[in-house]
Amino acid sequence: MKITGIELRRIAMPLVAPFRTSFGTETRRDVLLLRVVTPDAEGWGECVAMSGPLYSAEYVDGAADVLRRFLIPALPPSADAYAVGRALRPFKGHRMAKAALEAAVLDARLRAADQSLASFLGAAADRVPAGVSVGIMNSIPELLDAVAGYLEEGYIRIKLKIEPGWDLEPVRAVRERFGPDVPLQVDANAAYTLTDAPHLARLDEFGLLLIEQPLADDDMVQHARLARRITTPICLDESIESAEHAAAAISLGACSVINIKPGRVGGYLEARRIHDLCRAHGVAVWCGGMLETGIGRAANVALAALPGFTLPGDTSGSRRYYATDLTAPFELRDGHLTVPTGPGIGVDPLPEILDEVTTSTEWITL
Ligand code: OSB
Ligand code: MG
């Protein structure tokens, strides 16, 4: 399948509410979309890099730059998604940029072949449970209101963002108000060090599903030490950028759960490899999120339908993020999102909305 050209499109999407984590506050999602054009079909990919290099080293201007300078020019003239991965391997890092390019090529190929991404990846379910990631708030009452609203909407699992100074109290308050049975977990985004182990052990009494990425990205060994000092299962997010990292984390005992984000690991194919590896080792996985629009969300929901995704993901409905999504909105039905069944990712951007939120476009002829 020959690729005629690729459009880089930047869009600005206001979030319905500021999203605060231990690394910063987002009020607007500045997203890079890729549209791969072939004679038979077009494919879409959403780059999940954020505005600044705070979650990881990647950032959206950097992703656009490496795509136009190095990654797109390296594509073979007739590419399938596996060939994209091979062609991009010599370039270090930039996994979110690579993931977006691979996703767009894969979408175009699958649309041309009339196959859904879910079926291509090996999905085993037609719907996935919806969890929600709740940012750091200004006060406990504000947090309890937010959580109450999400539970009313039907969310099946709550994740609280934590940081030093906002950890035991919010967790205790949510447990006291909503009871011990609400599936609850926390995400520190690397805000602690191993010297905080006694403090983190105080979370043990709250019966959390897991604690996500308590320590620094490159602290695999220290996560293994922490795992022996707390009973809450450790889940890694930032630390896992490849199947090799996942294998190392599993054999070190650094985690018993992995959050799989296709962007962070370089694409849906690598995400599936990590899923397969974890499944073989009895390590639970769930699908993370990066505040995606409907484009990225559709693909994530397809991935989350694989059989090893045994925990609810950060797969929320569109309105948790955006008043108007780029695509037909994802909506909760009985606490679940429906896996798209159309060809490729199964959704399309709505042209008028896309135009409204677009801040720039760039066409690269291949
Ligand atoms: O650590 O999982 C994270 C959002 C942006 C960057 C990192 C993270 C998150 C989330 C939100 O937790 C997940 C979502 O709902 O998309
Ligand atoms: Mg996380």
The verdict on 27 and 127 lying in the same domain is no
The verdict on 142 and 51 lying in the same domain is no
CB 268, CB 291: distance < 8 Å: no
CA-closest residue to ligand 1 atom 7: 290
Q: What DSSP letter does each residue of 54-70 carry, written as one string?
A: TSSS--HHHHHHHIIII
Q: What is the pLDDT of residues 138-150, one digit of tens each?
A: 999 999 999 999 9
Over residues 196-210, the mean pLDDT reads: 98
E runs forming strands in the chain: 5-21, 24-37, 42-47, 127-129, 131-134, 157-161, 184-187, 211-212, 234-236, 257-260, 284-287, 336-338, 358-365
CATH number for position 332: 3.20.20.120
Question: What is the sign of the dihedral through the CA atoms of 267, 272, 275 and 276?
Answer: negative
Examine residue 325 and state whether it is found in any structural domain, yes or no: yes
Which tokens go with 100? 């977006």
The verdict on 217 and 330 lying in the same domain is yes
The verdict on 225 and 334 lying in the same domain is yes
Over residues 124-142, the mean pLDDT reads: 98
* Whether the CB of 314 sits within 6 Å of ligand 1: yes
CA 19 to ligand 2 centroid distance, Å: 13
Q: What is the pLDDT of residues 70-118, one digit of tens each?
A: 999 999 888 799 999 999 999 999 999 999 999 999 999 999 999 999 9
The verdict on 24 and 126 lying in the same domain is no
pLDDT the model gives residue 77 = 81
The verdict on 143 and 98 lying in the same domain is no
The verdict on 93 and 187 lying in the same domain is no
Establish whether 161 is a catalytic residue.
yes
Examine residue 55 and state whether it is found in any structural domain, yes or no: yes
Q: What DSSP letter does each residue of 33-51 carry, written as one string?
A: EEEEE-SS-EEEEEE---S
CA-closest residue to ligand 1 atom 14: 289
* Whether the CB of 187 sits within 6 Å of ligand 1: yes
The verdict on 190 and 269 lying in the same domain is yes
Average pLDDT over the chain reads 97
pLDDT category of residue 184 using cuts at 50, 70 and 90: very high
Which tokens go with 156? 């099946």
How many domains are there within the chain?
2
CA torsion 311-155-21-225 (nearest 10°) is: -30
CB 364, CB 6: distance < 8 Å: yes
Q: How much of the chain exceeds pLDDT 90, in percent?
A: 98
Give strand pairing partners of 34: 8, 45
CB 307, CB 281: distance < 8 Å: no
Task: Spell 48-69 as b/e; 16+ CB within 10 A means b.
Answer: bbbeeeebbebbbebbbebbee
pTM equals: 0.98
Look up the domain containing 9 and give its range: 5-113+352-365
CA 179 to ligand 2 centroid distance, Å: 24
- Distance, in Å, from the CA atom of 22 to the CA atom of 237, rounded to the nearest integer, reads 14
The verdict on 128 and 79 lying in the same domain is no
pLDDT category of residue 221 using cuts at 50, 70 and 90: very high
CATH number for position 92: 3.30.390.10
- Distance, in Å, from the CA atom of 124 to the CA atom of 106, rounded to the nearest integer, reads 20
Q: How many CB atoms lie within 10 A of CB 15?
A: 17
- Distance, in Å, from the CA atom of 22 to the CA atom of 207, rounded to the nearest integer, reads 22
Establish whether 2 is a catalytic residue.
no
Examine residue 344 and state whether it is found in any structural domain, yes or no: no
Q: How much of the chain exceeds pLDDT 70, in percent?
A: 100
Ligand 1 atom closest to 189 (CA): 1
- Distance, in Å, from the CA atom of 91 to the CA atom of 75, rounded to the nearest integer, reads 12
Over residues 307-316, the mean pLDDT reads: 98
Which tokens go with 256? 């018993």
CA 210 to ligand 2 centroid distance, Å: 11
Examine residue 243 and state whether it is found in any structural domain, yes or no: yes
CA-closest residue to ligand 1 atom 12: 133
Short-list 258, 207, 260, CA closest to 95:
260
pLDDT at 56 over 80: yes
